[in-house]
Each structure stands twice: as C-alpha cells, then as structure tokens.
Chain A
C-alpha cells in the first residue's frame, strides 16, 4: 500500500506543497483583508449615494458605480497583467506572494463593495426611518442600524469574496504569483506531473469547503431573524 502511494505520488514534494499552501493562505488572507477594508466603505457609499437613499448623489453614484463596473468587467487574468506596472510602483515587484496581492485587491474590493451595497439595500427602510426619527445622524444610522442589521449579509459577502479570491490567487500563478496555483501550473501543467495537479486541486477544494462552512456558521450565528 505504502509502495503504491509512493509510486502514484512520486512527484509530490510535500514540503513544497506545504509552503505553497501557506502562500495561498497568505495571499487570500491579505487580499481579503484589504478587499474588506476598501470594499466595505465603498459599498456603504454606493448605498448612501443611491437613488432615494440618505445621501442621494446621482453624479457621485454614477462615477463610483462606473469604476466598480470597469474593475469587475475586466477578466481577472487581464487585470493581473494590466496591473503589473502599478504593482511594481506600489511594492517594488510584481512577482511572488507580495506581487499578487495588489491585483487580488483590485479584483476583490469592487466585487465585495457590490455585495455590501446589495445587503444594505435588503435592510428594511422602516428601520432607517425609525432611526432617523430618533434624531440620529447619517453616521449613526450607518453604524448603529444599517451595518448591524446587514451583518449576516455582509458576512455572507465576505465568504463569497474569499472564495473568489482563492480562485483568483490560483490564477496569479500564471504571471509568477506564488501558492498552489503556481505549483499546479509549473509542475502539474508544464511538467505533466498529474499527481501534483491532483493534490493542489484537492487542497483548493478543501480550502474552499472550509471557508464556506465557516462563513455559513458565522451567518447563522449573527442572524436574529
């Protein structure tokens, strides 16, 4: 049995796999962090500037919405390439784990912003009205009522974004990013090492499953409806 395993997975270097997994974790974790930090306020602004909302601003909404749509409509593989000069300017390299993070954030933040906007729109207008009737400022409406009420939806949005970032991170292997995707492309694809391919794909599947389960649990925990 052991011999069989040895034979089947002859090309698999487990230390390499371990490092690649860690790199994927770092890329997804860091880009998720920045996507949320940028996407959350962006989503809140999109919501507030929208039609018949608290800070209705048709021009500002149109501009923000356009930028978000542009970033979302560029296929990520293209975004990776287009971003290279900017990434180099920002952190000095477009390679490796660090080099993959700026394009990941550029892809993840607008995606998450839209999800935030949608989940804020799901909040009952009556709750906003009631909070305003109590004499709340716009800031208090956002932090006291809107965000807590939309929290389950926002957490679900973070889960979806994280999973999207896992697949984006794998793609970044094409332009020299690190992680499991890089491994799959260099060994699994270019050197025809099918066993490496299978293991990396399996690890990605497990990773996505874990993210979804954790996300679902959190959503359930914060849902009071």
Chain B
C-alpha cells in the first residue's frame, strides 16, 4: 500500500519556489493498477517519481507498506529502489549492452545474486516477455514494442512489489500499445504487483486501470474507480480527457442535439445490462418514440459498458425513466 500524506513538491527556480505538486493525500492499494492521467506539465511525472524518490518531496510523508520512505538514508533508499521497478516512455535501455545484459543489469547492481541465479532469472524473464530469440541483440536492433518488453523484463528482474510506468506506451503505435498493456495486465494479475502508471491517454486507463487520479496544474482534481470517473466525469479536465478518448467533438455534438426533438437522455449500461434488449420493450410500455443520437459499446478493463444518447418524443416519459432505472441503467437528462 502506497500512502501519500500531504506530499508536496516544489522546485527552486531563480530563488522562487515553483510548485509542481500541491499538498496531496491519497492511497494506492496493494495489487491494484492505479492510473494517473493529466496533460503534460500537470505534475504526473513528478508524482510517479516521488514514489521511488527520484524526486524527493519538499513536504509531507510517503508511506509504503507502513514504512516512511522519506526518512530513508542512502543505503536504505537503494535497497528500497530494488523493490520498485520502473519503465519509461523512451525505454532508457543501455545501448552498449545486449538484451540479456540489460535485463541482468539491475541484478548485477544489487550485488546479492549469484551468476547462475542471474542467468536463470534472465531466461525466465525473456520467456515471459517473449524475447528469447532476441537475447543477444542490441537495443538498436529492436522495434519499439520489443524495447519496451525488455524494459519491463528489466524492471521485473529483482522481483519488485511495485511497478512504475512513466508514459510507457506513449511512444508506441496503437497495436504495440495493446500488446504492452496486455502484458502489464497479465503481470499485475499473475504476480499481484501494484502498478502505478501515468499517461495522457484515457484509453490506456480504460483498458488496464482499476482506479484513476486525474491531475491538473499540480493537483489531483478527481479520483475514483475507473468506471465511475470514465462514465460520469465531474471535473472539466476529466471530461476533456473522456471526450478526447471517445473522439467526440463537443461543438458538433451540441449542434446535433439542437436538431433533435423532445427530451434528450444519456443512458449508461454497465456489466450484464449492456447486452439486454431494453429499448424496444420500454418504448412499447411507455409509448415513447426514440431516435438514437449517438452510442457506443466498449469495455472498461474487463467490464462491458454501453452509452446511448437518445431523444424521446411523445408517450409517458415517467414510465420510460422508471423502466430504465429498474433495469439498472443510469439515466442522465441532457435536455
């Protein structure tokens, strides 16, 4: 469990303190995939680097499994960092070492593993990230996705309990992003590793995260389960991110709504209700006519969800609303 207790960070620039992170308190549970989303400069890079103290905080305490890591001395800090893996946007592999040597590197630095232990662990990790054939290649000979797989294997070498991902998929194409995210999800499930990942893509959060914090200007402005934050965003920044990830142009949407008649509702289906044939029966019972203005069905991590924007004309609206709510569908009246 990672606990931030009034943690803050500011940088001294020309004698003035520029805040990068305003006092923040939050808890990341053991074994969860926690996303931090925000635009560049929002402070998410700083936040993730506070967890392994690459950036020391200027105030507050950080507790990891009830230990105050901000009080560590240099050697305690080094021992602690071995238990926290980290992967990066630009991979940060050593170009002078082969794939196998890159993966072995943190174990060699630790100085507590025997040669055979390192060898066996590297083989095991190469298999896990499906790079057995690339073991003797140099990073420059690999594709972006392969490089990030090496990065992941290297981060796992010393069997960490926490994995920090700094924009790990931002330099990858959509397909590679998929496979890297799947690998991260597998690792989280199989090893019970806590993953903290920062990204500017809501889509990444939607695919793998359990909970998410949205950052804006050095502050966490919204935090909660991904399905809540994603389906019912409250803060304007969060809404921007959600609309962006769904490719919705808000001006266009407003125009569309102006042409529509009657009531406009947004229905949100979650889990099993996503697949129930509800609209027809509600229309029959209540006598309303509906037209679909927009809609999508997708997944948040493993849970399916659907969102429909409808305009309803005639009939008895109350009956329709009650029927939707009875079927566990969240109804939002847009007009």
Contact = CB atoms under 8 A, between A and B. Distances in A.
* Bound together: yes
Nearest to A140: B109
Interface in B13-46: none
B51 to A, nearest CB: 10
A63 B97 CA distance: 35
Interface residues of A, number: 21
A130 B92 contact: yes
A130 B97 CA distance: 14
Interface of A is mostly: helix
A33 interface: no
Interface string A187-204: 000000000000000000
Nearest to A144: B109
A136 interface: yes
A131 B95 CA distance: 13
Contacts of A145: 94
Nearest to B157: A134
B80, B96, B106, B110: which has the most chain A beta carbons within 10 Å?
Answer: B96
A109 B77 CA distance: 36
A144 B54 contact: no
A6 B158 CA distance: 73
A10 to B, nearest CB: 54
B138 A224 contact: yes
Interface string B160-182: 00001000000000000000000
A216 interface: no
Given A133-B54, A133-B81, A149 B105 contact: no
A222 B52 CA distance: 33
Interface stretch (B83-91, B118-126, B223-231): B83-91
Given A127-B94, A149-B94, A224-B139, A135 B110 contact: yes
Contact of B92 (A127, A135, A225): A127
B140 interface: yes
Contacts of A140: 109
Contacts of B94: 127, 145, 148-149
Nearest to A152: B96
Contacts of B78: 135-137
B79 interface: yes
Nearest to B139: A224
B61 interface: no
A126 B96 contact: no
Contacts of A16: none
Contacts of A131: 105, 109
Which 6 residue pairs are nearest across A and B when measured between Cβ atoms? A135-B81, A130-B92, A126-B92, A135-B78, A134-B106, A148-B96
Given A133-B52, A145-B94, 17 more contacts: A126-B92, A127-B93, A130-B92, A131-B105, A133-B81, A133-B86, A133-B164, A134-B110, A135-B79, A135-B81, A135-B106, A135-B109, A136-B78, A149-B96, A222-B96, A224-B95, A224-B140
Interface of A: 124, 126-127, 129-137, 140, 144-145, 148-149, 151, 222, 224-225
11 contacts: A131-B105, A133-B52, A133-B164, A135-B78, A135-B106, A140-B109, A144-B105, A145-B94, A149-B94, A151-B96, A224-B138
